[in-house]
Amino acid sequence: MEFSALIRTASREAHTDVGSSSFMTDLLGGRLGVAAYRRYSEQLWFVYRALESPADALAADPVAGPFLRPELARMAELERDLAHLGGPDWRTGLTALPATTAYAARVAECARDWPAGYVAHHYTRYMGDLSGGQYVRDTAEKTWGFDRKGDGVRFYVFESIGNPAAFKREYRALLDALPVDDLEKQRVVEECKRAYALNAGSSRSWPRSSGSAPEAPTRLSALLKAQHQPSLFWAYFRGSSASMTA
């Protein structure tokens, strides 16, 4: 089995746990107000700061370096979204929840001490953004009225990636060619599981604040209602089986 397929298979249960938190279920089901989406985006800022700050230091690393594609970088777009959601002073009072702090700290630790572990976190975040993240964008646009691919959802818009399916194939090829031995690959698989667990812990701690919104009548909602059916719920969080195997 190719390493990229092994990662997907081995971490499937952990990945599903991320989306099964009540906060994420309600957020992605369109049942929370835009303030909850803003809080969610604020917590992502801490995680992506940890992911992207070490990019220059890791650029020449033989393990992590090939994955640091500039077209994946999200911080500029995320900060533009946060300015749209919170105004020019959006940084005022910005605070990481304890679970988010733990998540970001682990990403930073791997970036500093273990490049292969950093790859695990890179994979879980960016491939998720390219896949299931597009359903988050679709839901946000329909539920809270953001312009299509505009301010508020730019984090999920990869303007420099013209063919996401081809890009994901290239990314999986990098995983398959990861220059580490089998024991290290198993450690990477375990770190992927840990990344999903940290993400799940963070999502469970996010406050369900500031009102509710009508549930968006999208296929996302239908999938969320079917969360007790693992195959459907997993397909949603992988962005659909077609997108992941393209």
Binding site members: 8, 15, 123, 172
| Closest alpha carbon to 123 in 82, 57, 168 | 168
Residue type, 21: S
CB 165 within 8 Å of CB 246: yes
Write out the two tokens for 243: 């997108």
Write out the two tokens for 20: 């099964």
DSSP assignment of 54-123 equals THHHHTT-TTTGGG--GGG--HHHHHHHHHHHH-TTTTTT----HHHHHHHHHHHHHHHH-HHHHHHHHH
HSE-CB of 114 using CA atoms within 13 angstroms: 14
Would you list which residues are annotated within the binding site for heme b?
A: 8, 15, 123, 172
What sections of 159-218 are H helices per DSSP?
Answer: 164-176, 182-205
Question: How far is residue 202's CA from residue 146's CA, in Å, rounded to a whole number?
Answer: 25
CB 246 within 8 Å of CB 134: no
